[in-house]
Amino acid sequence: MELKKDSNTVSIDMLLIVHSEKRRAAQGTHSDRQADPGALPQRRGGLQGGGNGIQKWQKIEGNSLNGNLADKQHPQQTQVITSYDNQGTQLTVEVHPRDTMPELLKKFSLDKRLQGDKNGNTRPRQPGGKDAHAYPWDRSSLKSMPLDLQQFEKLDTYASQVTVKSGLDELVNDLLQEAHSDLERVRAIWIWICHHIEYDIEAAQEKDRQAFKPSNILQTQKTNCDGYAGLFERMCRIAGVQCMTVPGYSKGFGYQTGQSFSGEFDHAWNAVFLEGRWHLLDSTWGSGLVDTATSKFTFLYNEFYFLTHPALFIEDHFPDNKNWQLLKPPQSLRQFENNMYHKSEFYNKGMLSAHPDTPVIRTVNGKATITVESCAPTPFMFMLNGKQEHGLLSLQKNGMKLDVYPPTMGTHKLQIFAKGSSDVYSSVLEYTLKCNYVDSGVRLPSELHQPVGPSWFSEQMGIRKPSHPDPIIHTSDGRCSVSFGVEEGVSVLASLHGDEGPVTAETQRRYIFQLQREKRTELKVQLPRAGKFALKIFVKKRQEPGNYAFVFNYLLCCSNTKVNWPVFPESFGNWGQGNELLEPLSGVLPANRNVPFKLKLPGVAKALVKGQDTWPLTLNGEGYWEGSCSTAGCQEVYVMVLENANHNFYSYILKYTVNDQ
């Protein structure tokens, strides 16, 4: 044995000859390790947490990347045994036939950075202090190294279209045609796996060892998390990039908020060595999702799990070795269990933080408050026990605030969703609420939708400068007036909703009287009784087809039990801008009475009130049309206008009903 040493490397030249008496034992050991030379380390695991795993992670190294060399190997050929210790030192032994002349074995160099050879026979160094990132997350980046994803566009397109022609070596060689650095090599492999390998639920459940061999994965293009991680490591080593498979616990498919972890590991992912530092990625979760209802896999690429910042990766990945957290300080398993789990979409959609930052919340006086901070204005919604009820969600410029009032004592599931650039809301947070008190005075209308109160979103939809910026309006006499500016070309519609009568589908708009004044809309509201009501606001661009779109609602609150306002008169389309009704405001008129009328109707030629008879209105010096009408002998009374003096056709603008005699 010869030892050579310089400033950067230590080289050991060693020759070990095993005599024939020892050969059978040596060959027996080698045969055991190579019984399935192409198989990747097998462990039950699932996409985002599915499966049970195994407690011990056993790495199986083989000379055959395609899984068939051992079967074809002639018994008289040279046998090779490779082993590693915990520090990554490699020992290689060749076993030669008795009558052959042994040759000098391969030289093994321990360098500052070990270069993986084509057969993956190099054991990378363990992570150390220089690999660690500060915890908690400093909000600087979602990635563990500076990346410009736009620079990957050409490579991503190319890698995603590469097809399997024969074996793993040729596949990697094809992928690397457009990759010119270790980072690009890792990226090409990542993109190919995420777009071509499907999660195999059945194989994971049946512990089908054949499903995790590279040759089988390439053939079926299916595997489980062990297969994903093992395949990724093999392909990286063929590409000459140091890569490790990391087992551990995960908060993924099947995870329940607040659950504890013990026993078998349930997942596996990878660490890659780039630019002098270890980085983390998970190609299983980068490839897609398993539907919890159908247990079917869907390809849905997730960029978040490529070179994820370790302070974010730890939220749903806990490795068996704390050094692979790449964190300073590392987290304990108890911390992992108790820490808030922000789903990948939380960060993908630009969110920064949430409060409380614990997965279990105890209500205070029957209420729980959650706030989320985001980089930009973001639409949110929530569900409590699967329904969009019992909460007040208000949008803010950079986030949202949610007050939740569980209707019963006990444990409740709260889900928060956010919508990014697409029209799809994604789940970003889950909380468990524990409620030991219910405030019977806080009962929100079931029709109170989200969001509550005006915001950047209502402004975006054409509603600006509201008279009431807060989402809750209190009224002592059961009446209120709400106004806001309206963008030109936008029509506004409003309706009132309560859980108890007399508001019905026919009358929900009759408790609101809408007035147009220049570029502002005023909504006069009269409540039929004491209680809580949802005042819903809708908009529509006049020139566009389709229905009115919901924008936001106010919560109207009145505790005065004497309140009993009637509906307003029904208005028609010709009730135009600038019109104003002073009296009568009640839409229900008394029978057999003379009822005074006073209205402002700019631009009309004539106005009249029609009951049993016709009663003309007179324009006074202040610009109001005045007069009176008898309700005797009629059930309905109409206000009608002649818009042009040259016409003889009157238009209906208001309708009143008359009480039964």
Question: Which residues have a catalytic role annotated?
Answer: 225, 267, 282
Q: How many Cβ atoms are within 10 Å of 580's Cβ, its own excluded? A: 15
User: Do residues 210 and 35 lie in contact, with contact meaning Cβ atoms separated by under 8 Å?
Assistant: no
Q: 3-class DSSP state for residue 344? A: helix
Six-digit token pair at 401? 């605030």
Is residue 543 within 8 A of residue 552, CB to CB? The reply is: no
* Beta bridge partners of residue 654, listed in sequence order: 571, 639
Q: Is 189 helix (H, G, I), strand (E, B) or coil?
A: helix
Q: Which of 88, 94, 21 is nearest to 59 (CA)?
A: 88
**Cα distance between residue 258 and residue 431, in whole Å:** 9
- The C-alpha atoms of residue 610 and residue 596 are separated, in whole angstroms, by 13
> b vs e for 169-198, b when ≥16 Cβ sit within 10 Å of the residue's Cβ?
eebbebbbebbeebbbbbbbbbbbbbbbbe
Question: Residue 576 and residue 653: Cα distance in Å, rounded?
Answer: 9
3-state helix, strand, coil in the chain (%, to 5): 20, 35, 50
d(CA 156, CA 189): 10
Over the range 308-345, which residues count as b (16 or more CB within 10 Å of their CB) and which as e? bbbbbbbbbbbbeeebbbbbeebbeeeebbebbbbbbb
Of 49, 464, 16, 64, residue with least CA distance to 248: 49
